[in-house]
Structure 1
Amino acid sequence: MSFSFFKPSRPKTPVEVAKAIKDSLTALDTKTVVEVKALEKALEEVEKNFATMRCMLSGDGENEPNADQVTQLAQEICKEDVISLLVHKLPILGWETRKDLVHCWSILLKQKVGSAYCCLQYIENHLELLDFLVVCYDSKEIALNCGNMLRDCIKFPSLAKYILESASFELFFKFVELPTFDVASDAFSTFKDLLTKHDTMVSEYLTAHYDEFFNLYENLLTSANYVTRRQSLKLLSDFLLEPPNSHIMKRYILEVRYLKVMMTLLKDSSKTIQMSAFHIFKVFVANPNKPREVKVILAKNHEKLLELLHNLSPGKGAEDEQFEEEKELIIKEIERVSRLPILESQVISPSC
């Protein structure tokens, strides 16, 4: 009796993997209009190819990835326009396939050919892919996948700059308040990265788009949603008090409308929000060049403000002493302003 054994199949080369992925993704165009079983089979083929790509990019658990193969696969994926297919086919991929895609996306973006990031360059030449990923937040099935892919992109200044300056950026002010908590939280994480990862670039953006940005941001600070108010107020502190944004902060603290927002937040039922509001409110008060309108508001509301501040406490903690010192200085400054002979010719409605 003789036995025959199948030889193990030869591992695919990076060129073959890239082509297989492209072919299987392209096949979805024709399969979607045919019977369900054909589509399922096509999606299985895509899933199998994505698993092969993941193994080549990150190893199989026993063997480390081959660096040359990883680089070559990244090159082939760009050369064959697979990057575009990966993004545009995302909505119809299965859960496991999307998971593999997110994992591979992060690795692909880091691959250098010589001194250049090949996948980064591809996206820079196809910036509409970023718009597509942003809009995908509207689809809760793939929103978290897109969020991970966007945050990987935002690590690169050129891609973050494009999103900031695109019409898509304004959508984040809607997405952070979506009714699905996980999606809204993920959108806020991406929104935060856009505003904190690249200080100089963000400073330039805020300088050029000051009015439109802070008009929209005010809606977040005054949202009926507690989480939105808390997160947006904390984020405002994170980027407004950064040294590169000092000129933005100086402009912000001259505006009565934003002082009124902080005064309202000082009255919030949440102690966390009260404390975060205090750290921005104190800058309005401590400003040695307060405009007359700001002084009028502080003077007209000094009694309520002093009451709020006297009752404000961060609770037990290491920062108590510093906070109490700052609070005392702010209280003294409000008391000083309240004694100034401020003209009454222009009455400004207080917000407290």
Structure 2
Amino acid sequence: MSFSFFKASRPKTPQEVVKAMKDSLVALDTKTVVEVKALEKALEEVEKNFVSMRCMLCGDGEVESNTDQVSQLALEVCKEDVLALMIHKLPNLGWEARKDLVHCWSILLKQKVDSRYCSVEYIENHFEFLDFLVVCYDNKEIALNCGLMLRECIKFPTLAKYILESASFELFFKFVELPNFDVASDAFSTFKDLLTKHGTVVAEYLTAHYDEFFDQYEKLLTSSNYVTRRQSLKLLSEFLLEPPSSHIMKRYIQEVRYLKVMMTLLKDSSKNIQISAFHIFKVFVANPNKPREVKVILAKNHGKLLELLHNLSAGKGAEDEQFEEEKELIIKEIDRLSRLSNPDH
């Protein structure tokens, strides 16, 4: 009797944990059709196995995780295609199991084995998993779980690059405006990470897809949704002003259509949006190589622009001083352009 007790309590090896996890995830398929009771049993098994996997990966509060076991587990998960099952079975799982899955996912991705990120390499060989996770934003039950998993992936340049260049990237322009606020906000966080985490990757992507990207982005800047306008304007500053994207910014500030977008945002009813728009608008005005069309627009609208700028203030101490200095320079430049275009006045 005591022998079987000790036998049962022997800690599982990484191989056993992964095998149990694989069997229980596969069982979700085979048993679903049979009966509800069997499905409930299979889901309980999965939940139990995720708890075991989580304990092995990060300890259980009493016992710390063992580095060798964690490495072995990361290797087994890839070798047995359990990473694929974790992604594809996510929609079938309960709340608790999904939470544990996301936690395990984030640890597995960071796990180096012999100086290689084996889970990242596995995803590099199965890029379609990333498309699957992006599309899951359309399923509000699992959207937030998939968002967390995607942001873990985006920390790696090769995975971020794939998403940016995939057809599924375009879906973000829709997802950030979904009616469910939590899902839309989460999609925006992922969108932001894609455009800010790896400057060189982003600059390469924008160089190759300039027109289609900024066509879509203009719709976000002119959205009827205040949150979308504000967030996308702030994000535009972040990735345009990154050193690797300086050539993109130079191209952007040559374009009259985008100058007009910023001029419209300067009139927005929200002061926050006005201030953010000013920080991009000033780059158009201060550009020493302004094309003729940009000069003409600024000169033609100088009266309205000066009135808007005079009424604009940041109102935050030292920041305010710098803002006022910049504003003065921009006002002078617009004034100068209007005099050049109309020498009689």
TM-score range, shorter chain: over 0.9
Match of 1:257 in 2: 257
Match of 2:326 in 1: 326
Mean alpha-carbon deviation: is it higher for 28-37 or for 16-25? 28-37
Closer/same/farther in 2, CA of residues 217 and 342 from structure 1, 3 Å limit? farther
The answer (yes or no) to whether the contact 1:296–1:342 under 8 Å persists in 2 is: no
Give 3-state SS (helix, strand or coil) of 2:315's partner.
coil
Match of 1:350 in 2: none
Q: Distance in 1 between matches of 2:76 and 2:12?
A: 13
Deviations 1:290-309 (A, max 9, x none): 11111111111110000000
- 1:96-135 correspondence to structure 2 within 5 Å: 96-135=96-135
The answer (yes or no) to whether the contact 2:147–2:187 under 8 Å persists in 1 is: yes
Match of 1:213 in 2: 213
Instruction: Tell whether 2:281 aligns with 1:246.
Output: no
Closer/same/farther in 2, CA of residues 5 and 17 from structure 1, 3 Å limit? closer
The answer (yes or no) to whether the contact 1:237–1:280 under 8 Å persists in 2 is: yes
Give 3-state SS (helix, strand or coil) of 1:248's partner.
helix
Q: Distance in 2 between matches of 1:323 and 1:232?
A: 21
Closer/same/farther in 2, CA of residues 341 and 3 from structure 1, 3 Å limit? closer
Give 3-state SS (helix, strand or coil) of 1:62's partner.
coil
Match of 1:176 in 2: 176
Mean alpha-carbon deviation: is it higher for 294-303 or for 311-320? 311-320
TM-score, normalized by length of structure 2?
A: 0.97
The answer (yes or no) to whether the contact 1:28–1:42 under 8 Å persists in 2 is: yes
Alpha-carbon offset, residue 3 of structure 1: 10
Q: Which amino acid aligns with 1:89?
A: K
Instruction: Tell whether 2:164 aligns with 1:186.
Output: no
Alpha-carbon offset, residue 10 of structure 1: 1.2
Deviations 1:257-277 (A, max 9, x none): 000000000001111100000
Alpha-carbon offset, residue 342 of structure 1: 7.0
Structure 1: which 5+ runs fail to align?
Answer: 344-352
- 1:1-352 correspondence to structure 2 within 5 Å: 6-7=5-6, 9-341=9-341
Deviations 1:294-332 (A, max 9, x none): 111111111000000000011233201111110000000
Give 3-state SS (helix, strand or coil) of 1:254's partner.
coil
Closer/same/farther in 2, CA of residues 25 and 5 from structure 1, 3 Å limit? closer
Q: Distance in 1 between matches of 2:38 and 2:11?
A: 26
The answer (yes or no) to whether the contact 2:177–2:228 under 8 Å persists in 1 is: yes
The answer (yes or no) to whether the contact 2:299–2:341 under 8 Å persists in 1 is: no
Deviations 1:98-153 (A, max 9, x none): 00011000110111121211111100000000000000000111001000000000
Q: Distance in 2 between matches of 1:154 and 1:316?
A: 35
The answer (yes or no) to whether the contact 1:284–1:290 under 8 Å persists in 2 is: yes
TM-score, normalized by length of structure 1?
A: 0.95
Give 3-state SS (helix, strand or coil) of 1:339's partner.
helix
Q: Distance in 2 between matches of 1:305 and 1:3?
A: 86
Q: Distance in 2 between matches of 1:217 and 1:342?
A: 35
Among all aligned residue pairs of Structure 1 and Structure 2, give the percentage whose two residues are the same amino acid.
84
The answer (yes or no) to whether the contact 1:18–1:77 under 8 Å persists in 2 is: yes
Alpha-carbon offset, residue 38 of structure 1: 1.0
Closer/same/farther in 2, CA of residues 342 and 256 from structure 1, 3 Å limit? farther
Q: Distance in 2 between matches of 1:14 and 1:174?
A: 41
Q: Distance in 2 between matches of 1:4 and 1:189?
A: 53
Alpha-carbon offset, residue 6 of structure 1: 3.6
Q: Distance in 2 between matches of 1:317 and 1:62?
A: 50
The answer (yes or no) to whether the contact 1:31–1:39 under 8 Å persists in 2 is: yes
CA RMSD of aligned residues (A): 1.5
Deviations 1:164-209 (A, max 9, x none): 0000100000000011111111100000000000001111110010
Structure 2: which 5+ runs fail to align?
Answer: none
Q: Which amino acid aligns with 1:270?
A: S
The answer (yes or no) to whether the contact 1:131–1:163 under 8 Å persists in 2 is: yes
Q: Distance in 1 between matches of 2:2 and 2:120?
A: 51
Q: Which amino acid aligns with 1:72?
A: Q
Q: Which amino acid aligns with 1:55?
A: C
Mean alpha-carbon deviation: is it higher for 286-295 or for 275-284? 286-295
Deviations 1:50-71 (A, max 9, x none): 1100000000011110110000
Alpha-carbon offset, residue 341 of structure 1: 3.1
Q: Which amino acid aligns with 2:214?
A: F
Give 3-state SS (helix, strand or coil) of 2:60's partner.
coil
Q: Distance in 1 between matches of 2:255 and 2:327?
A: 22
The answer (yes or no) to whether the contact 1:309–1:331 under 8 Å persists in 2 is: yes
Q: Which amino acid aligns with 1:287?
A: N
Closer/same/farther in 2, CA of residues 31 and 182 from structure 1, 3 Å limit? same
Give 3-state SS (helix, strand or coil) of 2:340's partner.
coil
